[in-house]
Structure 1
Amino acid sequence: MDSNQILDEIRDINLSYMLLAKQMLREDRVSAMYRLGINQDVADILEQLTSAQLIKMAASNMLLCRFRFDDRLIAEMLSTDSRDQSVAKSHASILMAGKSAEAMI
């Protein structure tokens, strides 16, 4: 994959992510903030973005979304094949919820 292809993919991911985030915030703000791992300030900014601003931000050469976990335990809980997948996912959600929400913008 050449660098232009990678940049195009990043822009597509950014646009999809931001459109999804805005939709989630419109439908259920509290749940969206939890699922996206964002705080009140970032939610306010995302909701107020115009279409032109959203497209401009999506055109960045940096990914605007990121993994919400940075430790091996959560990664293993989410990726391991276990008999009781719902318990592992719930436990991982609890651990991630305990981490502070960070601004993505």
Structure 2
Amino acid sequence: MNSDQILTEIREANLSYLMLAQSLVRADRDQALFRLGISEETAAMIAVLTPSQMMKIASGNTLLCRFRMDDDLVWGLLTNHGKGAANDTTSRLHASILMAGRHREAA
């Protein structure tokens, strides 16, 4: 993949993310704050973006979204390879609880 393809992929991901974020914020603000890991102020800005503003923001060369799992514990819980389905459900729940707690700390 060359650099032009990478930039095109980043722009498409940015636009998809902004569209999803705006849709979530407008449908259920509290869920959007939790699921996207954004602040109330960011949600307010996203909610009122026009399509042309979203296109302009998305056209940059920097990815707007980022991974919220930035430690080995959460990654280990989410990638629980080779373990049973019941344990997988418990691990995902544990990871969700950890990420929710971190979102509350950041807010």
- Runs of at least 4 residues off by over 4 Å: none
CA distance in 1 between counterparts of 2:34 and 2:92 reads: 15
Deviating more after overlay: 72-81 vs 92-101: 92-101
CA distance in 1 between counterparts of 2:34 and 2:103 reads: 10
So what's the TM-score if we normalise by structure 1?
0.91
Considering only aligned residues, what root-mean-square deviation do their CA atoms show, in Å?
Answer: 1.5
Deviating more after overlay: 85-94 vs 35-44: 85-94
Deviation per residue, 1:26-74 (Å, 9 max, x gap):
1111011100000101000100111111010000100000000110010
Q: CA deviation at 1:79?
A: 1.2
Query: Which residue matches 1:17?
Result: 17
So what's the TM-score if we normalise by structure 2?
0.89
CA distance in 1 between counterparts of 2:26 and 2:90 reads: 29
The structure with the larger Rg is: 2
CA distance in 2 between counterparts of 1:5 and 1:60 reads: 14
Secondary structure of the 2:91 match is helix
Query: Which residue matches 1:86?
Result: 89
Secondary structure of the 2:102 match is coil
Structure 1 vs Structure 2: percent identity of aligned residues? 47
Say yes or no: does 1:31 pair with 2:34.
no
Structure 2 gaps of 5+ residues are none
Query: Which residue matches 1:75?
Result: 75
Secondary structure of the 1:64 match is coil
Secondary structure of the 1:32 match is helix
